[in-house]
Amino acid sequence: QLQLQESGSGLVKPSQTLSLTCAVSGGSISSGGYSWNWIRQPPGKGLEWVGHIYQIGSTYYNPSLRTRVTISLDRSTNQFSLRLTSVTAADTAVYFCARAATYYFDFWGQGTLVTVSS
């Protein structure tokens, strides 16, 4: 059974960079046919897709975040990561990592709350 686990700083100061990692177990991020995604959910609000990366390294980002987001893969540790620069309070959210099969997310992490505050 595939499992995903987010980790990273839970508190980030405004204007700084948010960094999160998703550890994947029970399967390889190098498997073809999947993408590795970040999705966020501000407190009390809906889901917002942040972006994804394919095992070949190609990336796609939410147009509203594109200038600030970078997603990368580390095949040696079977992890993928999210960097979001110049954060503001609007970036406060639970951040989920998830695997996407063809057009749907089949496995999700439990989520990690990131708060942007001085």
Partner 1 sequence: YDLTQPPSVSVSPGQTASITCSGDKLGDKYACWYQQKPGQSPTLVIYQDSMRPSGIPERFSGSNSGNTAILTISGTQAMDEADYYCQAWDSSTVVFGGGTKLTVL
Q: Is residue 71 at the binding interface for partner 1, with CB under 8 A as the rule? A: no
| Residue (of 32, 3, 37) closest to 20 by Cα position | 37
Q: How far is the CB of 108 from partner 1 (least distance, A)?
A: 4
Chain mean position to CA 29 = 14
Nearer to partner 1, 29 or 99 (CB): 99
- CB contact set of 82 (below 8 Å; sequence gap of 6+): 18, 19, 20, 21, 22, 38, 50, 51, 69, 70, 71, 95, 97
Nearer to partner 1, 78 or 105 (CB): 105
Q: Can residue 47 be called a binding residue for partner 1 (CB under 8 A)? A: yes
Calculate the CA dihedral of residues 31, 107, 77, 115 and round it to 10 degrees: 140
Q: Which of 31, 86, 110, 115 binds partner 1 (CB under 8 A)?
A: 110
92 binds partner 1, rule: CB under 8 A: no
Exactly one of 37, 79, 81, 92 binds partner 1 (CB under 8 A); that residue is: 37
23 contacts partner 1 (rule: CB under 8 A): no
Is the CB of 7 or the CB of 16 nearer to partner 1? 7
